Amino acid sequence: MDKNMTIADSKNLSSDRHQFIEEIRRREFGVGVELSEEATDLIQVSYNLMVFL
């Protein structure tokens, strides 16, 4: 950490990093994503089709 960085700067940097990581988790892995009932049903049908192939 830079000697001139304040505690507030450090907290902002930490918050920015956390937001970045959370966005990747949502976008790439679907963590925390809320789907509509229709989307959930579609995913379930697709999954069931893959299992039986």
Mean pLDDT taken over the chain: 88
- CB of 26 within 8 A of CB of 32? yes
Instruction: Pick the more confident residue, 35 or 10.
Output: 35
Answer whether residue 15 shows pLDDT above 60.
Answer: yes
- CB of 26 within 8 A of CB of 33? yes
Closest CA to 14 of 1, 26, 3, 4: 1
Tell me the one-letter amino acid at 17.
R
Domain spans in the chain, listed from the N-terminal domain onward: 7-51
Residue pLDDT, tens place only, 19-30: 999 999 999 999
Cα radius of gyration (the chain): 19
User: How far from the centroid of its chain's Cα atoms is residue 25's Cα?
Assistant: 3
pTM tops 0.75, yes or no: no
Which pLDDT score is estimated for 20? Answer: 95
Instruction: Pick the more confident residue, 31 or 5.
Output: 31
